[in-house]
Structure 1
Amino acid sequence: MKYDHTAVQVSDIDASIEFYTTNLGLTLKSVEVSDSLHIKFAFLEINGSKFELIEDLRGNFKKPQLSAPFCPHFCFEVDDMDTAVKQLRDAGIELLSEPTACVAGEIFVYFKDPDNNVLEFIQWKD
Structure 2
Amino acid sequence: MRYLHTMVRVKDLDASLHFYTTLFGLTEIRRHENEKGRYTLVFLAARDDLEAARNEKAPCLELTYNWDTEDYTGGRNFGHLAYEVDDIYAICRHLMDSGITINRPPRDGNMAFVRSPDGISIEILQKGSSLAPAEPWVSMPNTGAW
TM-score range, shorter chain: 0.3 to 0.5
Give the TM-score normalised by the residue count of structure 2.
0.41
Answer with 1 or 2: which has the greater Rg: 2
